[in-house]
Chain A
Amino acid sequence: MSHGNMNLTLKVWKQKNKDSKGKFETYDAKGISPDMSFLEMFDVVNEQLISSGKEPIAFDHDCREGICGMCSMYINGRPHGPKQGVTTCQLHMRSFKDGDVIVVEPWRSAAFPVIKDLAVDRSSFDRIMAAGGFVSVNTGNAKDANNILIPKPDADEAFEAAACIGCGACVAACKNASAMLFVSAKVSQLALLPQGKIEARERVLNMVAQMDEEGFGNCTNTGACEAECPKSISLENIARMNREYLVSNALSKK
Chain B
Amino acid sequence: MASSPKLNSKIPEGTIENKWTKYRSTVHLVNPANKRSLEILVVGSGLAGASAAASLAEMGYKVKVFCFQDSPRRAHSIAAQGGVNAAKNYQNDGDSVYRLFYDTIKGGDYRAREANVHRLAEVSGNIIDQCVAQGVPFAREYGGTLSNRSFGGTQVQRTFYAAGQTGQQLLLGAYSALQRQVGMGAVKLLARHEMMEVVTIDGKARGIIARDLVSGKLERHFGHAVLLCTGGYGNVFYLSTNAMGSIVTAAWKAHKKGAFFGNPCYTQIHPTCIPVSGDHQSKLTLMSESLRNDGRIWVPKKKDDNRKAIDIPEEERDYYLERRYPAFGNLVPRDVASRAAKERCDAGYGVGTSKMAVYLDFAANTERYGKIEATKHNLHNPSKADIIKLGKEVVKEKYGNLFDMYKQITGEDPYEVPMRIYPAVHYTMGGLWVDYNLQTTVEGLYALGEANFSDHGANRLGASALMQGLADGYFVIPYTIGDYLSEEIRTKAIPTDNEAFVKAEKDVQDRIDKLFAIKGSKSVDHFHKRLGKIMWDKCGMARNKEGLTSAITEIQQLKAEFWKDVRVTGEANEFNPELEKAHRVADFIELGELMCKDALHRNESCGGHFREEFQTAEGEALRDDDNFAYVAAWEYKGDSSFELHKEELKFENIKLAQRNYA
Contacts and interface: CB of A to CB of B under 8 A. Distances in A.
10 contacts: A40-B280, A56-B577, A62-B69, A62-B245, A64-B283, A90-B405, A126-B179, A137-B177, A145-B138, A146-B88
Contacts of A132: 183
A81 interface: no
Contacts of A165: 168
Interface stretch (A42-50, A171-179, A217-225, A240-248): A42-50
Interface of B: 51, 54-55, 58, 69-74, 76, 78-79, 88, 90, 126, 128-135, 137-146, 162-163, 165, 168-169, 172, 175-177, 179-180, 182-183, 189, 191, 214, 243-245, 277-283, 285-286, 404-405, 408-409, 411, 474-475, 478, 521-523, 525-526, 567, 569-570, 574-578
A238 B52 CA distance: 33
Contacts of A214: none
Given A67-B78, A68-B79, A69-B73, A137 B245 contact: no
Interface string A96-122: 000000000000000000011001011
A243 to B, nearest CB: 19
Which has the most chain B C-beta neighbours within 10 Å: A63, A123, A129, A138?
A63
Contact of A70 (B69, B144, B146, B278): B69
Contacts of B175: 129
Contacts of A193: 135, 137
Given A64-B243, A129-B179, A143 B140 contact: no
A31 B161 CA distance: 42
Nearest to A48: B523
Interface in A120-164: 121-123, 125-126, 129-146, 148-152, 155-156, 158-159, 162-163
Which 10 pairs show the lowest CB-CB distances between chains A and B? Answer: A149-B144, A130-B183, A142-B129, A134-B176, A142-B133, A159-B137, A139-B55, A145-B132, A116-B575, A130-B179
A3 interface: yes
A92 B169 contact: no
Contacts of B138: 145, 155
B177 A65 contact: no
A195 to B, nearest CB: 5
Given A40-B281, A145-B88, A163 B575 contact: no
A172 B285 CA distance: 27
Contacts of B126: 140, 142
Contact of B279 (A1, A86, A145): A1
B135 A62 contact: no
A97 B268 CA distance: 39
B167 to A, nearest CB: 8
A196 B179 contact: no
A149 B172 contact: no
B282 A39 contact: yes
Nearest to A136: B180
Nearest to A160: B137
A139 B177 contact: yes
Nearest to A66: B405
A17 interface: yes
A64 B526 CA distance: 19
A155 B140 contact: yes
A58 interface: yes
Nearest to B283: A64
A126 B71 contact: yes
Contacts of A66: 405, 408
A234 B134 CA distance: 22
Contacts of B244: 61-64
B138 to A, nearest CB: 7
A152 to B, nearest CB: 5
B165 A163 contact: yes
Contacts of B277: 35
B409 A92 contact: yes
Contact of A86 (B145, B243, B408, B525): B408
Contact of B575 (A63, A115, A140, A151): A115
A45 to B, nearest CB: 12
Given A47-B523, A123-B191, A152-B142, A159 B134 contact: no
A139 B58 contact: yes
A31 to B, nearest CB: 9
A82 interface: no
Contacts of A140: 126, 130, 475
B58 A138 contact: yes
A136 B179 CA distance: 11
Nearest to B526: A47
A165 B245 CA distance: 17
A13 to B, nearest CB: 14
Given A35-B277, A133-B176, A135-B176, A40 B69 contact: no
Contacts of B180: 130, 134, 136
A143 B134 CA distance: 11
Nearest to B241: A65
B279 to A, nearest CB: 7
Contacts of A158: 135, 137
A55 interface: yes
Contacts of A130: 179-180, 182-183
A137 B285 contact: no
Nearest to B411: A94
A64 B71 CA distance: 16
B134 A135 contact: yes
A54 interface: yes
A44 B277 CA distance: 16
A62 B411 CA distance: 22
A90 B478 CA distance: 39
A130 to B, nearest CB: 4
Contacts of A144: 129
A215 interface: no
Contacts of B165: 67, 163
A166 to B, nearest CB: 6
B136 to A, nearest CB: 8
